[in-house]
Amino acid sequence: MGTVVFLHAHPDDEAIFTGGTMALLAAAGHRVVHVVATGGELGLAPPGLDMAATEVGRHRREETEAAAEILGIGRLEWLGFADSGMAGDPANHAPGSFWAADLEEAAERLALILREESADALVAYDDVGIYHHPDHVQVHRVGHRAATLAGVGTVYDATVDREHLHFVETHLVEEAILAGDLGLARSHIGAPSVLIDRVVDVREVLAVKRAAMAAHASQIPETTSALRLPTHHFADVYGWEWYVRHGPPGPIDHL
């Protein structure tokens, strides 16, 4: 059995993009470590509540803890950076934001965890951060640098197959950026099928993934499109998770 460390940008990203993989790894006996780069303070407050950013961050931390328990995560850590907002937001360059962070400093924070865990593999994001969110792009940069610093030879870039998503119902990532052409060959979201090394079928743990997504109720309320999908359509959209692998095969290749 091995240890896989996942670096995600914000609370809820883990459930949406890699929740099934995390659940499968945990069920197979691997140790799953989840590291969250930011507190997601610029996300939505729970419906009907007026919260300051710090309160939103605290609430989202509680949601992430609940999701971690559902997914079987063995350790949950926070890098301590602030949410940078979408591209062009003034928060991109605010002191303490993840996007504005010094690459070496941020990577060393993650590398410390990788060394403590003797990690066999790290999961970050692809080089466009799946959908060009500044914090997601920074996850790619920080993740790969930290893996080098800690001597972790296998890095999986979580992504989405833009060609697969052309044939399914709307995905949360589309709503996040109002892409409109998600999944089309001309899209710059995710990666084309030919570049993807590992497709993980997570349908056997789909109920677990859905429950973990629902635990992030401030961002993914029951009324959102994802959770209103019938089970078979939910499986079409969220029943697969995709990775571009750098380095030798690791635990995710054997799921």
Contact between residue 8 and residue 106 where contact means Cβ atoms under 8 Å apart: no
Residue 179: inside a domain, yes or no? Answer: yes
Q: Give the model's pLDDT for residue 186.
A: 44
Q: What is the mean pLDDT of residues 135-158?
A: 98
Enumerate residues 6+ apart whose C-beta is below 8 A from 181. 187
Q: What is the C-alpha to C-alpha distance for residues 119 and 111, in angstroms, rounded to an integer? A: 10
Query: Residues 116-125: what's their mean pLDDT?
Result: 98
At 175, the pLDDT band (50, 70, 90 cuts) reads: low
Question: Residue 109 has what pLDDT?
Answer: 98
Q: Is residue 197 part of a domain?
A: yes
Report the mean per-residue pLDDT for the chain: 91
Mean pLDDT within 109-115:
98
Model pLDDT, residue 181: 42
CATH of the domain at 43: 3.40.50.10320
H helical segments located in the chain: 13-27, 53-71, 103-117, 134-150, 162-165, 172-177, 206-215, 225-228, 231-238
Mean pLDDT confidence for 20-47: 95
Predicted local distance difference test score (pLDDT) of residue 187: 53
Mean pLDDT of 45-66: 89
Across the range 47-64, mean pLDDT stands at: 88
Residue 185 confidence class, pLDDT cut points 50, 70, 90: very low
Residue 254 placed within a domain: no
> Residue 54 pLDDT > 50, yes or no?
yes
Per-residue pLDDT tens over the stretch 5-22: 999 999 999 999 999 999
- Provide the domain limits for residue 140: 3-248
Name the band, by pLDDT with cuts 50, 70 and 90, for residue 165.
confident
Residue 253 domain-assigned?
A: no
User: How does strand 240-246 pair with strand 155-159?
Assistant: antiparallel
Whether residue 171 lies inside any domain: the answer is yes
CB 58 within 8 A of CB 64: no
Cα distance between residue 145 and residue 105, in whole Å: 10
Which residues have CB under 8 Å from 109's CB, separation 6+? 79, 80, 146
Q: Does residue 255 form part of some domain?
A: no
Residue 200 lies in a domain: yes
Q: What is the pTM of this model?
A: 0.93
Q: For residue 116, give Cα distances in angstroms to 122, 152, 155, 227.
A: 13, 12, 17, 37
The yes-or-no verdict on residue 174 having pLDDT over 60 is no
Phi/psi of residue 79, nearest 5 degrees: -75, -20
Q: Is 178's pLDDT higher than 60?
A: no
Instruction: Report if residue 212 sits inside a domain.
Output: yes
Number of domains in the chain: 1
More confident residue, 45 or 186: 45
